[in-house]
Amino acid sequence: MNNVMWTGAVAFAVCGALGPVVIPLLHKLRFGQSVRGCGPESHKQKSGTPTMGGVMILMGLMVAVAIFGEFTSALKVALFLTLSHGVIGALDDGIKIVKKRNLGLNVKQKFALQILVAAGFIWYGVMTNFPTELWVPGFNIYFDLGWGYYLIVLALLLGTTNAVNFTDGLDGLVSLVSLPVFLTFGFFAYTLGKTDLMGFSAALFGSLLGFLIYNRHPAKVFMGDTGSLALGGAVAALALLLKCELLLIVLGGIYVAEALSVILQVGSFKLRHGKRIFRMAPIHHHFELGGWGEVLTVKVFSLVSCLLAAVSFGLWVLKFVI
């Protein structure tokens, strides 16, 4: 347990210490964010704020895990899914920076790379006889899906990484929403005796706290897709390795709402001849433009994430009671 606490503390210290070094460097390299023209008017002043700050989060994670981590196969898989998605995000950010536009990789390119990473996990699962049972929270029912489980894996990896990416749209939003998620995953790992994944969760929790020093409103740096896709990979990895795939729908409810709002908005626009459901998608912009503003929206979404984490905690405990 002491090692787990130190893992989080070191990740926090490393990420926090990197700010005064990395942020000026990103400024010098002109790694500024390009704000989309159709976004909220208030966001235009964010143009030029350094992006790719996700490297700070990943450095905090890697240093902490390198010092205190238990390099089990589960930890290696978690790092693979996190860092590989971070590389995809970095490529996406790099194209945006070089081209001076808000679009990096196109949808097909990004999905192809994400499917390739998912295939890597599926290959690992087949080679190691990874459990293909699916637990239904609240009922303590298990279904062995056999090969069909890997369709769930593919959907979970693609859905989670992109959903977390959609959530990264306001100062500090995805960091604050993700803190209770990783804290809850750490508790799940504790109940299962998986100290390796406890340390991994603690390292991400600490890195996000360190990053918030610079990413809280008004943000001095954005994590970019480098950070948000990596976080999505980490969330998906923990859900898979802790065998709580369906519970992620509750625990990551904010991510789910963000992704659904985009799907519904696009579908409505195409099927209803330009009519929209929300003022703007993802849904955090809908509330922001509805009068909440950026700071209140972040506070409410963070509180909801805490409540969802509490519900998930209860459902997980029921697993050992029923």
Do 250 and 315 contact (CB within 8 A), yes or no?
Answer: yes
Strands 141-144 and 133-136, how do they pair? Answer: antiparallel
Better-scored residue on pLDDT, 148 or 49 = 148
pLDDT in tens, 34-45: 665 555 666 666
Q: What residues form DSSP beta bridges with 26?
A: none
The pLDDT score that the predictor gives to residue 44 is 62
Query: pLDDT tens, 49-97?
Result: 898 999 999 999 999 999 998 999 999 999 999 999 999 999 999 888 8
DSSP type of residue 50: B
Tell me what pLDDT residue 156 has: 97
pLDDT of residue 301: 98
What pLDDT does 39 receive? 58
CB environment 266-289: b (16+ within 10 A), e (fewer): eebeeeeeeeeebebbbbbbbbbb
What value does the mean pLDDT take over residues 6-33? 91
Of 7-16, 34-43, 153-162, 248-257, give the lowest mean pLDDT range: 34-43
| Crossing angle of helices 253-271 and 293-318, rounded to 10° | 120
pLDDT at 33: 67
Nearest to 226 by CA among 156, 177, 165, 174: 165
- The contacts of residue 72 (CB under 8 Å, 6+ apart) are 196
Q: What's the pLDDT tens digit per position in 185-220? A: 999 999 999 999 999 999 999 999 999 999 999 999
pLDDT(99) > 80: no
Strands (E), the chain: 133-136, 141-144
Model pLDDT, residue 274: 83
243: exposed, middle or buried (C-beta count within 10 Å: 0-12, 13-18, 19+)?
middle
pLDDT band at 1 (very low <50, low <70, confident <90, very high): low
Residue 109 pLDDT > 70: yes
Q: pLDDT, tens digit, for every residue of 231-240?
A: 999 999 999 9
Determine contact, residues 118/154, Cβ cutoff 8 Å. Answer: yes
Rounded mean pLDDT of 226-246? 98
Q: Is-contact 143 134, C-beta < 8 A?
A: yes
Whole-angstrom distance, CA of residue 313 vs CA of residue 80 = 26
Does the pLDDT of residue 5 top 60, yes or no? yes
Q: Is 243 left (phi over 0), alpha (psi -120 to 50) or beta?
A: left
Rounded to the nearest angstrom, the gap between the alpha carbon of residue 210 and the centroid of all alpha carbons in its chain is 16
Q: How far is CA 181 from CA 17, 45, 279, in A?
A: 24, 30, 28
d(CA 130, CA 77): 12
Express each pLDDT in 255-304 by its tens digit.
999 999 999 999 998 888 888 999 999 999 999 999 999 999 999 999 99
Chain mean pLDDT for the chain: 93
The answer to whether residues 227 and 15 touch, using CB atoms and an 8 Å cutoff, is: no
For position 321, what pLDDT does the model report? Answer: 82
Q: What percent of the chain has pLDDT over 70?
A: 93
